Amino acid sequence: MIRFENVSKRFSSRKSTTDAMNHINLEIDQGEIYGIIGFSGAGKSTLVRCINLLEKPTEGSVYFQGERIQDMNQRQLRAYRQKVGMIFQQFNLLAQRNVIENICYPLEIAGVKKSQAVARAAELLELVGLQEKAKAYPEQLSGGQKQRVAIARALATKPEVLLCDEATSALDPITTRSILALLKEINEKLGVTIVVITHEMKAVEQICDRVAVMSQGTIEEEGTVRDVFLNPKSETARKLILPDHETEILEAHHMLRIAFDGQSAFEPVISEMTMACNIAVNILGARTENIGGKAYGQMLIELPKDHETANQMKQFLRDRKIHFEEGGGTHE
């Protein structure tokens, strides 16, 4: 659906030149939720702004359903941008307009009759669960409610693609999960392709199908979320998955990183391993979440110095098809 072919973006001033993207090649399939993750300055936002041509690539081509968007004239570009909705970290709502008027705004620009625009806005308010806030103003809303309004506004013109540029970064963890769940619901109900720009691996794990890991303007690795989470190949991916202090722990000897990628959240893996191997397991760190009744996350445990017992613990994990990574970079 969306294809980047050797795309680069360079920002120049009188004093310096900055390469924000270097020879990017990727494809985003119709109907999927595609994550682009990396630290600040990686080039994520520049990439997503090239999709709707808010930033024009210095080199290369961006295609939408086989058509090169740089070749579009102004009329074609306006029509194309109606197919690409966008939501932002800071919501960008119009303070002088109430909720229903904010959602109607892109429809006004598109020349839709007021009665039709209001009907569409009411429909979208129901979708995002804010029917009772139609007459409220942005200052009367919480952060999560503002983002729901922004999502409704982005969907007003019935786009085929929704771009989410750090859409949950300004929200607390509970609100973040609810907004991500809403995006997943929109994807499933409306079939909208969603591109998620984020620096938070949790967001990618919760809703994305595939992910590209960016650093310094390049894509370091790409794959399904499961594959990247279980077996990160780049240093950037490892740092995003494991905080710095846990990375240091894992590099020490006799440590295991156990990755849970969908086992039942009610399956007592560690308790069973303790009993099966007749050893007390020392947990050094853990981050697991229950998403749809499945366990996602990772746990760091200490391996005993006794090689026989350590091998028994690893065999226990193999038998249950639970992925693990041993300190020093051994993956299974």
The 8-class DSSP code of residue 168 comes to T
Q: What is the CATH architecture assignment of 242-331?
A: 2-Layer Sandwich (3.30)
Least confident interval from 38-42, 115-119, 182-186, 199-203? 199-203
Q: Whole-angstrom Cα distance, residue 9 to residue 14?
A: 17
The residues near 50 (Cβ < 8 Å, ≥ 6 apart) are 4, 7, 9, 21, 56, 57, 62
* CA–CA gap between residue 175 and residue 85 (Å, rounded): 21
**Strand 323-326 versus strand 330-331 pairing type:** antiparallel
Which residues belong to CATH 3.40.50.300 in the chain? 2-232
CA pair distance 156, 49, nearest whole angstrom: 19
Residue-wise pLDDT for 102-144, tens only, equals 999 999 998 999 999 999 999 999 999 999 999 999 999 999 9
d(C-alpha 5, C-alpha 109), whole Å: 32
pLDDT at residue 329, as a whole number: 47
Closest CA to 220 of 212, 208, 228: 212
Average pLDDT over residues 294-314: 86
Distance CA 225, CA 202 (A): 11
Q: Please, what is the average pLDDT of the chain? A: 90
- Band (179; pLDDT cuts 50, 70, 90): very high
Mean pLDDT of 82-96: 93
Q: What is the largest distance, in Å, between two alpha-carbon atoms of the chain? A: 75
Q: In what order do the strands lie in the sheet with 59-64?
A: 17-28, 2-12, 59-64, 67-68
For residue 224, what are its two tokens?
């399904």
More confident residue, 266 or 316: 316
CATH architecture type of domain 2-232: 3-Layer(aba) Sandwich (3.40)
Q: Where are the beta strands (DSSP E) in 77-182?
A: 84-88, 161-165
Distance, in Å, from the CA atom of 147 to the CA atom of 272, rounded to the nearest integer, reads 43
Predicted pLDDT at 330: 53
Instruction: Please report which helix (H) or strand (E) contains residue 23, including its range.
Output: strand 17-28
Note the pTM of the prediction, 2 decimals.
0.86
Cα(24)–Cα(108) distance, integer angstroms: 35
Distance from chain centroid for Cα 93 = 22
For 255-302, write each residue's pLDDT tens digit.
888 888 777 667 888 899 999 999 888 888 887 776 666 777 888 888
What is the location of CATH 3.30.70.260 in the chain?
Answer: 242-331
pLDDT over 90 percentage in the chain: 67
Assess whether pLDDT exceeds 70 at residue 150. yes
